[in-house]
């Protein structure tokens, strides 16, 4: 379940006024209670527990008067974590030089996963280096992308073959 556009816009405006960026928003229903889960970030430093408390209090007051939230709800605020989602072109630009895992549809329509360093990003595409080969990926073809922090001894960046073609299997 996604947040409706008006509610998401209200949350983004409030977060922006507080100095935070909305990275991802999720809404789930369980019985009569709705859960709104927000992942936020700051450009100047990592998100702390104090930040989460501050945002919870501020948004709690704003959301109390919103008619699109009838009935009880839980508000959960979190940092995006080490495997931070990359959901906007600006995120890729900000983390240029970092390792990322990008799931996307290639030109043939097959879902592909590339893991490598972010080389460049603009409003229409990103460039990721996989095994020393740069690959341009249209932003609109990206299904999901996350930072992929490498640990010591982690395997070298790789590019997996499209689903259904691994090990000779077809789906």
CATH class of 89-168: mainly beta
User: What does the DSSP 8-state code read for residue 43?
Assistant: S
Q: Record the tokens describing residue 138, joined without a space.
A: 């249209």
The answer to whether 7 and 70 have CB atoms below 8 angstroms apart is no
60-116 per-position pLDDT tens digit: 888 887 776 767 888 899 998 888 899 999 999 999 999 999 999 998 999 999 999
Q: Helix, strand, coil shares of the chain as percentages rounded to 5?
A: 25, 35, 40
Structural domain boundaries in the chain: 5-78, 89-168
Record the pTM: 0.69
24-56 per-position pLDDT tens digit: 888 888 777 888 899 999 888 889 999 999 999
**What CATH topology corresponds to 5-78?**
GMP Synthetase; Chain A, domain 3 (3.30.300)
Phi, psi of 47 (to 5 degrees): -75, 135
């Amino acid at each position: 379940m996604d947040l409706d556009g008006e509610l998401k816009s209200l949350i983004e405006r409030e977060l922006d006024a507080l100095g935070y960026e909305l990275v991802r928003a999720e809404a789930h229903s369980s019985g009569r209670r709705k859960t709104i889960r927000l992942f936020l970030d700051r450009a100047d430093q990592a998100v702390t527990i104090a930040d989460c408390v501050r945002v919870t209090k501020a948004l709690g007051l704003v959301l109390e008067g919103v008619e699109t939230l009838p009935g009880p709800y839980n508000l959960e605020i979190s940092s995006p974590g080490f495997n931070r989602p990359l959901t906007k072109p600006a995120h890729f630009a900000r983390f240029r030089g970092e390792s990322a895992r990008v799931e996307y549809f290639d030109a043939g329509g097959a879902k592909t996963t590339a893991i490598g360093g972010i080389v460049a990003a603009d409003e229409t595409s990103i460039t990721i280096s996989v095994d020393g080969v740069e690959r341009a990926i249209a932003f609109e073809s990206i299904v999901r992308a996350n930072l992929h922090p490498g640990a010591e001894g982690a395997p070298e960046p790789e590019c997996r073959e499209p689903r259904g073609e691994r090990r000779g299997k077809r789906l």
